[in-house]
Amino acid sequence: MRPILSFFLAAVCFPVSGAIAQVTAAPAKPYSLYISSEGADIVTRIDVGPDGWKKAREVSVKLVPNETSGPHSVAVSPDGRFWYVSIAHGKPFGSIWKYTVDGDSLLGRADVGMFPTTVALSRDGNWAYVPNSDFHGDRGHQNTVSALYTPTMKVVTQIPACDMPHGSRWNQASSVVYIACMMSDELLTIDPGAFEITKRVQLGSGKPMTMAEHLRAEARSDSMAGHAAHMPGAASSTMPGQNPDCLATYVSVSPDDKSVYIACNHSNQLQVRDARTLALKARVTVGTGAYNVEPSPDGRFILVTNKKAQSVSVIDARTLKELARVPTSKKIPHGIAFSPDGRYAFVTCESIGTDPGAVDAIDLTTLKRVASLALPLQPTGIAVRPTG
């Protein structure tokens, strides 16, 4: 039987302990990976089947020649018929593009807000909730979450949310949408039937801060160099005293809808909270720069990409203990997705300069990285589509 990862040709494989690990289990059903490359303006489709894996197609999502469109996140509809990509840059707003899986034909585009990030789809695929992170705007004000009706690609409403909403996720029951807010360091819940925020909880000690306040605080920090003093301000600040703040980048939900997981980029922690009350259940130390968090399909593991530590933390979902910290092939790991059978985790790794990025495969039976494939500049978002 051919190794499942045999499609990773010798020219693009990265050695693991001196050799490519041999993985002999073929998938019961074929599936595809969709990966957005933010710096190359493409979405790559990788097909996986009994005969191995292959890079099947690259779809250009460039808006304007000689300008970067910035595809940030990709999502596949639950019925496997469509895929969506968030386009960060536009004139003036970002947008969500909808494609058919069969033929990768563009069906429609919807303008949303400034720098849309994650695309959270409901279980029936009819709704997408999109945080508009506005990465390049002044801080200290409310950004919105777009509620997009996907059959018509119409934005029904823009929900005022928080300062830099970034991560978004529906629960399995499609009754709640969770939003992780970076700058205001909050977790929000939205009632998707009413388009209203129902709960919000502070995740750190930060508060929103305008650019002028940032500059004044930085000046105070410079004048107090050598003194350990807590500087008030946004959770996103990297000033001394601010690192204990969470800086929530991503949120995900356990398969049983009982827990939510929040990646804290500044405190280097995973926060585990009660999905109903948002009460804190645990803090788990992971690697530096925690960024993306996803539970495995069977609920056994929680994976966190450590964006500043070139690794992925694998956590036992029952004991909340870190089982392994798996090194990635590139320095900046980003997104996480799982094979439909739950055996493999796939992690996108961003590029630095002209060095290509990659997608890594981690075997969850051994907690080892077993192969990597080079991809165009800045691979970020990743989604899996079961087929067959």
CA pair distance 126, 174, nearest whole angstrom = 11
Per-residue HEC secondary structure of 247-308 comes to: CEEEEEECCCCCEEEEEECCCCEEEEEECCCCCEEEEEECCCCEEEEEECCCCCEEEEEECC
Q: What is the mean pLDDT of the chain?
A: 85
Q: pLDDT-derived band of residue 242, with 50, 70 and 90 as boundaries? A: very low
Taking only the tens place, the pLDDT of each residue in 360-384 is 999 999 999 998 999 988 999 999 9
Q: Pull the structure tokens for residue 225.
A: 């160099």
285-332, pLDDT tens digit by residue? 999 999 999 999 999 999 999 999 999 999 999 999 999 999 999 999
Q: Could you give the CA distance from residue 151 to residue 132 in angstroms, rounded to a whole number? A: 21
d(CA 74, CA 49): 21
Residues whose CB is less than 8 angstroms from the CB of residue 375 and which lie 6 or more positions away in sequence, other chains included: 35, 37, 44, 348, 356, 357, 358, 359
Q: Which residue has the higher pLDDT, 90 or 160?
A: 160
- Beta strand pairing call for 95-100 and 106-111: antiparallel
- Residue ranges covered by each domain of the chain: 31-203+246-386
pLDDT in tens, 191-204: 999 999 999 999 98
C-alpha 261/C-alpha 252 separation (Å) is 5
Structure-token pair, residue 193: 């039937």
pLDDT in tens, 214-241: 445 445 544 544 433 333 333 333 333 3
Q: In terms of pLDDT, which residue wins out, 65 or 190?
A: 190
pTM of the model: 0.85
Looking at the chain, how many residues does it have? 388
Question: What pLDDT is attached to residue 219?
Answer: 56
Asked whether the predicted pLDDT for residue 10 surpasses 90, the reply is no
Q: Which CATH superfamily is domain 31-203+246-386 in?
A: YVTN repeat-like/Quinoprotein amine dehydrogenase (2.130.10.10)
pLDDT number for residue 204: 81
